[in-house]
């Protein structure tokens, strides 16, 4: 992802403050004071037409009068003169500008127009603009503070490996202050505001290339360019960064209503959640969770598996922690029997299984802590260990043997996360942190932090279809034989439909325009590798009877119409029909269809064999942010009620499709729950991957696809799409 100009924004050597004031408490005065107090080594130029000196520094009347190169201009002027100020900055050759001023797109109307002009200035000149309506940026390592946040009056940030990027200035300040109180080293902090130019995505991409940044905590209220975000997250993952992302808007507000199950099930937040997970990014739900995860990740070590060891002096706390570990999907595996026996010999009253409860007896023999910890790391082979010693860990006679034990463990297992839950002073906590052991007062939060570390480790290690589908392109090898994508758009009702492959309609039988009916949708999807049930079209009662006899009864019958999306709701589906009844059922289905929608085009009925198995729903849709996404979930007529679905950005490969399926509750039915035979999950994954390729190839032509139900047959027997609906994208 291009990040041109961001070096100047984040690592400037010269700063001009347009609107600098003598009063160090005002918006135009604070950044000047912060730069002076922090020891910024670059050149600082206050710009004020009414003063020769500002806060003791030589001032210039206009930006054009500032000598030498200007990396960053801080713009703290009224909205009415902001645009002319930026034009002057651009004309002066300023590389980047930080615009504090509000009164732009957030106010609508003329403000939005002025903000568009601001973006044009940035693009035309190449000067990067942060904001408007932002709280600025700081680089704690260099003393560069281009911000007016009052939180710096309470704490100055401690440089470290964590970066914070936030669209919201106030919330970004809140995060920065809480991070400082939590002893988290935040080296880089940036708020993007209205994002006329510089975005959260670009900031993440820039951070991905910086060796001094290990952890990125990101906050966004909305994302306009999904591809740019995914490119930045892919760059972060390639750079080994631990990224934790908080986004507001978990409700369905903003999700586009449509006539398909897929659209009804895919609220904007649902898709955002799934796409982040697909790309190995941990989505955090609130401030506490984000900072806990960033804090734990800043110590560097990541778990190699989901095995967690719990060591405690309280049986009750151990149960609480084990319960949370199970909720988080961690593996609370028992210690080996031989190890349990040896631990029992050390402390007879201990519970050595896992959680390992050393009990209060350890007070009489503090030196045993090391032996218990060694056994958990060496013999239990836990990928992470959480120790709960409450205030005991800060009491001097216990703290020393515990710290000694941790120091030895750290030497032998430097890459194994060990977390401490304790209550004590900042100095007491710092002694553990010096050994690369993060400290939490709440043991449940410590367990949740391990879960976040596990998820980010799995994301960094994953090699899957996530990256292959990041740009929404489909490799030529993924197309069915003889099929090539056309870039031609079509208009609704047009006969120019290059995306309908030749195998769907015989030569000389071009589709007459309008929408696809179910049979056409099935055949089109089949040509892309989605297996579909055998169907025969009956245009009259006699053909229906003959089709039923040819297939072998009982059969399923449905009305064939491009205008009736959901046949069950319309009463135009009949199951278990005999050959003798097929003719009458054909007429009944047609009659019900006409009663349901008198204007619907009725093309007859389709007749297919009855198929039984585990019902799933497959779907795809065009998400307004991320483009084509594919869905799988528990299916049938209650698909929208159950709401058990998983999404991915298309296209994906077979391995990612299997991970996707594993994420739905209905996956247990595929595994043979309640004595049922195991189902062909591989066939389901193959169908999902095939549908994802179709969706990606036709993202500009198809709004949504429903395959409901897709019946998964017993293991080794495959699966079949029993119904299909394709809704075209309207293109003016």
Average pLDDT over all residues of the chain: 89
Question: How many angstroms from the chain centroid is the CA of residue 373?
Answer: 35
Residue 665's pLDDT band (cuts 50, 70, 90): confident
Intrachain domains 6-248 and 470-503+518-529+612-732 with the same fold: no
Question: Domain ranges in the chain?
Answer: 6-248, 308-461, 470-503+518-529+612-732, 534-610
| Least reliable range by pLDDT among 103-112, 200-209, 434-443, 509-518 | 509-518
Q: What share of the chain has pLDDT > 90, as a percent? A: 78
Q: How far is CA 445 from CA 72, 420, 430, in A?
A: 40, 11, 18
Question: What is the per-residue DSSP string for 665-724?
Answer: TTHHHHTTGGGPPPB-HHHHHHHHHHHHHHHHHTTTTEEEEEEEEEEEPBTTS-EEE---
The whole-number pLDDT of residue 668 equals 86
Closest residue by Cα to residue 663 from 692, 640, 631: 631
| Least reliable range by pLDDT among 264-268, 358-362, 608-612 | 264-268
Q: Would you say residue 265 has pLDDT above 80?
A: no
Q: Would you say residue 520 has pLDDT above 50?
A: yes
Q: Would you say residue 634 has pLDDT above 70?
A: yes
Distance CA 694, CA 453 (A): 35
Architecture (CATH level 2) of domain 6-248:
3-Layer(aba) Sandwich (3.40)
The whole-number pLDDT of residue 482 equals 38
Q: Is 381 exposed, middle or buried (0-12, 13-18, 19+ CB in 10 A)?
A: middle
DSSP state for residue 384 in the 8-state scheme = E
CATH superfamily entry for domain 308-461: Succinyl-CoA synthetase domains (3.40.50.261)
pTM of this prediction?
0.87
Q: How far is CA 539 from CA 348, 586, 610, in A?
A: 82, 9, 20
The whole-number pLDDT of residue 363 equals 85
Residue 513's pLDDT band (cuts 50, 70, 90): very low
Architecture (CATH level 2) of domain 470-503+518-529+612-732:
2-Layer Sandwich (3.30)
The whole-number pLDDT of residue 277 equals 85
pLDDT digits (tens, 9 = 90+) for 106-131: 998 999 999 999 999 999 999 999 99
SS3 356: strand
The whole-number pLDDT of residue 587 equals 97
244 or 463, greater pLDDT: 244
Distance CA 576, CA 609 (A): 9
* CATH of range 534-610; options 3.60.110.10, 3.30.1490.20, 3.40.50.10540, 3.30.200.20: 3.30.1490.20
Distance CA 545, CA 586 (A): 9
Q: Would you say residue 474 has pLDDT above 50?
A: no
251 or 520, greater pLDDT: 520
Closest residue by Cα to residue 544 from 580, 571, 517: 580
* Helix, strand, coil fractions of the chain, as percent rounded to 5: 40, 20, 40
Question: How many angstroms from the chain centroid is the CA of residue 491?
Answer: 34
Q: Would you say residue 96 has pLDDT above 50?
A: yes
Q: How many CA atoms lie within 13 A of 656 on its CB side?
A: 32
pLDDT digits (tens, 9 = 90+) for 543-552: 999 999 999 9
701 or 673, greater pLDDT: 701
SS3 609: strand
Q: Mean pLDDT over residues 222-228, rounded? A: 89
Residue 213's pLDDT band (cuts 50, 70, 90): very high
pLDDT digits (tens, 9 = 90+) for 417-427: 999 999 999 99
Helix axes 315-327, 443-461, angle to 10 degrees: 30
Q: Would you say residue 500 has pLDDT above 80?
A: no
CA angle at 352 for the pair 349 and 354, rounded to the nearest 5°: 135
Tokens of 243: 């990224």
CA angle at 343 for the pair 439 and 451, rounded to the nearest 5°: 35
Helix axes 681-697, 654-662, angle to 10 degrees: 120
Residue 28's pLDDT band (cuts 50, 70, 90): very high
Distance CA 558, CA 719 (A): 20
Q: Would you say residue 258 has pLDDT above 50?
A: no
Closest residue by Cα to residue 622 from 696, 710, 672, 687: 696
Distance CA 484, CA 469 (A): 18
Q: Would you say residue 161 has pLDDT above 90?
A: yes
Distance CA 4, CA 225 (A): 18
SS3 195: coil
Q: Could you tell me if 293 and 244 are in contact, meaning their C-beta atoms sit under 8 angstroms apart?
A: yes
Q: Would you say residue 1 has pLDDT above 60?
A: no
Q: Could you tell me if 99 and 192 are in contact, meaning their C-beta atoms sit under 8 angstroms apart?
A: no
Q: How many helices (H) and strands (E) does the chain have?
A: 25, 29
Residue 646's pLDDT band (cuts 50, 70, 90): very high
**Residue 560 neighbours by CB under 8 Å, 6+ apart:** 517, 518, 519, 537, 602, 603, 604, 605, 606
Q: What is the CA radius of gyration of the chain?
A: 31
Q: Would you say residue 527 has pLDDT above 80?
A: yes
Q: Would you say residue 266 has pLDDT above 90?
A: no
The whole-number pLDDT of residue 388 equals 97
The whole-number pLDDT of residue 248 equals 83
Element (H, E) at 165: strand 162-166
The whole-number pLDDT of residue 129 equals 98
Backbone φ and ψ of 574, nearest 5°: -135, 135
The whole-number pLDDT of residue 286 equals 92
The whole-number pLDDT of residue 4 equals 57
Tokens of 141: 């390592």
Distance CA 155, CA 1 (A): 34
Q: How many CA atoms lie within 13 A of 281 on its CB side?
A: 32
């Amino acid at each position: 992802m291009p990040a041109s100009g961001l070096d100047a924004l984040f690592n400037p050597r010269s700063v001009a403050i347009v609107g600098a004031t003598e009063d160090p408490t005002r918006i135009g005065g604070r950044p000047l004071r912060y730069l002076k107090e922090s020891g910024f080594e670059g050149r600082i130029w206050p710009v004020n037409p009414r003063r020769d000196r500002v806060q003791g520094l030589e001032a210039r009347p206009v930006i054009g009068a500032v000598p030498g190169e200007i990396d960053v201009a801080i713009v703290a002027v009224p909205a009415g003169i902001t645009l002319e100020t930026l034009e002057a900055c651009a004309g002066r050759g300023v590389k980047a500008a930080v615009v504090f001023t509000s009164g732009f797109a957030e106010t609508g109307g003329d403000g939005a127009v002025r903000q568009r002009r601001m973006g044009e200035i940035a693009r035309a000149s190449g000067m990067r603009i942060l904001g408007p309506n932002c709280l600025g940026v700081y680089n704690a390592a260099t003393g560069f503070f281009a911000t007016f946040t009052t939180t710096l009056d309470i704490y100055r940030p401690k440089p470290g490996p964590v970066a914070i990027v936030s669209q919201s200035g106030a919330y970004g300040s809140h995060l920065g202050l809480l991070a400082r109180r939590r002893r988290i080293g935040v080296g880089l902090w940036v708020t993007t505001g209205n994002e006329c130019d510089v975005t959260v995505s670009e900031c993440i991409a820039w951070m991905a290339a910086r060796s001094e940044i290990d952890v990125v905590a990101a906050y966004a209220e909305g994302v306009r360019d999904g591809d740019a975000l995914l490119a930045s997250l892919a760059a972060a993952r390639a750079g080994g960064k631990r990224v934790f992302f908080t986004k507001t808007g978990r409700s369905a507000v903003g999700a586009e209503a449509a006539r398909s199950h897929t659209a009804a099930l895919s609220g904007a937040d649902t898709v955002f959640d799934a796409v982040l997970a697909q790309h190995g990014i941990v989505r955090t739900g609130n401030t506490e969770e984000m900072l806990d995860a960033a804090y734990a990740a800043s110590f560097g070590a990541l778990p190699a598996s989901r095995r967690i060891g719990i060591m405690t002096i309280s049986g009750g706390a151990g149960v609480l922690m084990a319960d949370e570990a199970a909720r988080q999907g961690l593996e609370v595996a028992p210690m080996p029997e031989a190890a349990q026996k040896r631990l029992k010999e050390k402390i007879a009253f201990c519970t050595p299984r896992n959680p390992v409860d050393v009990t209060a007896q350890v007070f009489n023999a503090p030196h045993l802590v090391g032996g218990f910890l060694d056994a958990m790391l060496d013999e239990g082979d836990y990928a992470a260990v959480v120790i709960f010693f409450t205030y005991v860990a800060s009491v001097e006679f216990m703290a020393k043997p515990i710290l000694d034990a941790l120091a030895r463990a750290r030497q032998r297992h430097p890459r194994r996360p060990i977390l401490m839950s304790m209550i004590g002073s900042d100095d007491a906590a710092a002694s553990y942190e010096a050994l690369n052991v993060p400290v939490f007062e709440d043991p449940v939060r410590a367990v949740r932090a391990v879960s976040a570390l596990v998820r980010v480790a799995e994301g960094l290690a994953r090699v899957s279809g996530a990256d292959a589908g990041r740009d929404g392109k489909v490799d030529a090898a993924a197309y069915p034989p003889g099929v090539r994508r056309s870039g031609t758009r079509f208009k609704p009702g047009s006969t120019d439909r290059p995306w309908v492959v030749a195998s769907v309609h015989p030569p000389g039988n071009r589709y007459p325009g309008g929408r696809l009916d179910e049979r056409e949708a099935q055949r089109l999807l089949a040509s892309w590798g989605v297996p579909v049930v055998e169907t025969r079209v009956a245009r009259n009662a006699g053909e229906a009877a003959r089709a039923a006899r040819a297939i072998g009864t009982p059969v399923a019958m449905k009305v064939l119409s491009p205008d009736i999306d959901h046949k069950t709701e319309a009463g135009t589906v009949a199951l278990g029909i005999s050959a003798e009844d097929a003719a009458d059922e054909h007429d009944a289905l047609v009659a019900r269809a006409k009663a349901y929608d008198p204007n619907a085009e009725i093309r007859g009925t389709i007749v297919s064999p009855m198929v039984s198995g585990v019902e799933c729903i497959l779907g795809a849709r065009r998400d307004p942010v991320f483009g084509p996404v594919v869905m799988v979930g528990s299916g049938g007529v209650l698909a929208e009620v159950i709401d058990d679905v998983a999404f991915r950005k298309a296209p994906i490969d077979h391995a990612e499709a299997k991970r996707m399926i594993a994420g739905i509750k209905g996956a247990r039915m595929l595994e043979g729950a309640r004595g049922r035979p195991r189902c062909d999950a591989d066939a389901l994954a193959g169908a999902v991957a095939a549908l994802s390729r179709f969706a990606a190839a036709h993202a500009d032509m198809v709004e949504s696809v429903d395959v409901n139900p897709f019946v998964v047959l017993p293991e080794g027997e495959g699966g079949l799409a029993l119904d299909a609906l394709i809704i075209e994208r309207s293109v003016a």
